[in-house]
Structure formats: C-alpha cells, structure tokens
C-alpha cells in the first residue's frame, strides 16, 4: 500500500506540474483565458486519452514511467480547470494560475510523508495491513 501511495502522489504531482507549465507558458506568450482555449485543452485531453501507449516502459531510476504515461492525459484537463473558473484572465493572471497549479503539485509532493504517516497510524490503530501477504 505504501508503494501505491507513493506512486499516486507522484502521478498527481507530475500532472499538476506539467499543467502548471502549460498555463504558465500560455501566460508568458500573452494568451488570455477564453472558452475556446478551455475547449482546446479538453479536446487535447481526450486525444491523449485515446492515444495512450500500450508498450510497457517499466521503472526508470525508481520512477514508474508506465503510471506517469497512463495519467498524462489528465494534464490538459487539469490545466483547463483554473481557466474555466477564471474565464477572461489576463496573461499575468494566467501566469499566476500556472503558479498556483505548480504550488499545488509541490505541496502534494512534500505531503507524501504525511500521507504515509497517516497510513501507518491507521494500520497501527486497526491492527491490519491491506495488500498482498
């Protein structure tokens, strides 16, 4: 279960950081948050979902590349969320929204030990461990 917690939190962190880079880059080039941009992001997410790779890459330097590639399609959808909430955002506001997405991703990364501690505490209180024995 610890591995699943670490893998899941790493996927969330990666999705948030790549979504942050997408929104931040658009803000840097002067784009504004429009409904068309939200639709383009969502269409991009659907396209990535249907073109996910089937090949197994495995683990590289301790990173589950297959898990990251499987969750990559979520990135444009996550990038579309703050733009949908803040339609009409100026380029500076888009940069701020990208920064907030990056902050959420890094906060999730730094909270991984807290997630694992909470799991260990729950296991010690209940006295049972889930997963393969």
Phi and psi, residue 60, nearest 5°: -125, 120
Has residue 77 been placed in a domain?
yes
Q: Inform me whether the pLDDT recorded for 106 exceeds 80.
A: yes
pLDDT at 130: 60
How many other β-carbons are positioned within 10 Å of the β-carbon of residue 30?
10
Over the stretch 48-95, which tens digit does the pLDDT of each residue have?
A: 899 887 767 777 776 777 777 888 889 999 999 999 999 999 999 999
Task: Return the residue matching tokens 């590349």.
Answer: 65
Phi and psi, residue 59, nearest 5°: -105, 130
Has residue 15 been placed in a domain?
yes
pLDDT at 28: 95
Has residue 133 been placed in a domain?
no
- Reduce the DSSP state of residue 64 to 3 states and report it: strand
pTM here is 0.82
The residue range of the domain holding 55 is 2-126
How many other β-carbons are positioned within 10 Å of the β-carbon of residue 78?
21
Has residue 31 been placed in a domain?
yes
Has residue 132 been placed in a domain?
no
Domain tally for the chain?
1
């Amino acid at each position: 279960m610890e591995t699943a917690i670490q893998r899941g939190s790493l996927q969330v962190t990666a999705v948030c950081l790549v979504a942050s880079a997408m929104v931040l880059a658009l803000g840097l080039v002067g784009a504004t948050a429009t409904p068309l941009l939200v639709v383009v992001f969502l269409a991009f997410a659907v396209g990535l979902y249907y073109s996910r790779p089937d090949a197994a890459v495995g683990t590289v330097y301790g990173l589950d590349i297959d898990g990251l590639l499987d969750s990559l399609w979520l990135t444009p959808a996550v990038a579309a969320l703050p733009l949908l909430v803040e339609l009409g955002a100026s380029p500076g506001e888009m940069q701020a929204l990208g920064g907030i997405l990056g902050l959420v991703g890094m906060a999730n990364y730094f909270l991984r030990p807290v997630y694992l501690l909470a799991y260990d505490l729950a296991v010690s209180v209940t006295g049972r461990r889930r997963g393969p024995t």
